[in-house]
Amino acid sequence: MRIHRIPSEKVKQEQPSVDLSPLAHLFEKYRNKSGSLIPLLQGTQHLYGFIPAPAFDLISKETGIETADIYGVATFYAQFRLNPVGKVIIKVCHGTACHVQNANAITDAVQDELEVKDGETTPDGLFTLESVACLGCCSLAPVLMIGDNSYGKLTGKSAVKVVRDIKETMKNEN
């Protein structure tokens, strides 16, 4: 059931304080346009990477939609995140083609490597691990995607290598 998308208390993270003033232009753009709640939430997430808790009240105030209804919409759709995400999002494809080519082994291996569960962010805020339904490059299955790069025909081992290489690059950049 979709209610699973609401994070449990223990994985709730500290939310950084955010400046909500950039939302003003979104309100301007969608004012008096019916059916614009989802684009508003998408715009908010685009700005912050997630939907900060105080944004709900502000959107409610500006649009006149009840906060509970906005929360209802935000938790219904898989796209919306209520918590900050890592710098790097690792999307492991779990489409049918990837599943029959053992995508579970990829998620398992990356979970072990990062010591987080599917859907969680590492404590250092660097990586978020996500399962996605289908990335659409079925002939390369099993696949994972980081940023705009897809890595195909993986095994548990090669997936871990991909993650380690990225860790290494990030270290060198700092």
Partner 1 sequence: METSIKPKIIVGLGSCGIAAGAAKTYDKLLALSQSGKYDFELAKTSCIGMCYKEPLVEVQDKAGSVIYGDMTDDKVIAVIEEHFATDKIVAGMAVHSSYSEASEDAYFNGQVKIALRNCGYIDPESIEEAENREAYKAIRHILKSEMKQMDVIQTILDSGLRGRGGGGFPTGMKWKFAFQNENKQKYIICNADEGDPGAFMDRSLLEGDPHAVLEGMIIGGYAISASTGIIYCRAEYPLAIKRLNIAIKQAFDKGYLGQNVMGKENFSFDIYVKEGAGAFVCGEETALIASIEGQRGMPRKRPPFPAVSGLWKKPTNINNVETWGNVPWIINHGAPAYAAYGTTKSKGTKVFALTGKIKHGGLVEVPMGITINDIIYKLGGGIQNDKKFKAVQLGGPSGGCIPAELGHTIVDYDSVNATGAIMGSGGMVVMDETTCMIDLAKFFLHFTQDESCGKCTFCRIGTKRMLEILERITEGKGEPADMEKLETLADQIKNNSLCGLGQTAPNPVLTTLKYFRHEYEAHIFHKKCPAKVCKPLLTYTIDAEKCTGCTVCGKKCPSSAIEGGRKTTHSIHQDKCIKCGECFTVCKFDAVLVE
Angle at alpha carbon of residue 3, lines to 40 and 118, rounded to 5°: 90
CB of residue 14 to partner 1, shortest distance in Å:
25
CB-based contact 93:103 (threshold 8 Å):
yes
Residues near 8 by beta carbon (within 8 Å), at least 6 away in sequence:
none
CB of residue 87 to partner 1, shortest distance in Å:
20
Residues near 172 by beta carbon (within 8 Å), at least 6 away in sequence:
none
Strand pairing category for 127-132 and 88-93: parallel
Residues engaged in binding partner 1 (CB under 8 A) = 1-4, 34-39, 41-42, 72-73, 76-80, 94-97, 99-101, 132-141, 143, 150, 152
Q: Is 4 or 10 the residue whose CB approaches partner 1 more closely?
A: 4
Half-sphere exposure of 113 (CA within 13 A, CB side): 22
Q: How far apart are CA 104 and CA 60, in angstroms?
A: 40
Rounded to the nearest 5°, which phi and psi values hold at 85? -110, 165
CB of residue 104 to partner 1, shortest distance in Å:
9
CB of residue 40 to partner 1, shortest distance in Å:
9
CB-based contact 11:81 (threshold 8 Å):
no
CB of residue 17 to partner 1, shortest distance in Å:
26
Q: Is 54 or 136 the residue whose CB approaches partner 1 more closely?
A: 136
Q: Is 53 or 133 the residue whose CB approaches partner 1 more closely?
A: 133
Q: Is 45 or 121 the residue whose CB approaches partner 1 more closely?
A: 45
Q: Is 50 or 80 the residue whose CB approaches partner 1 more closely?
A: 80
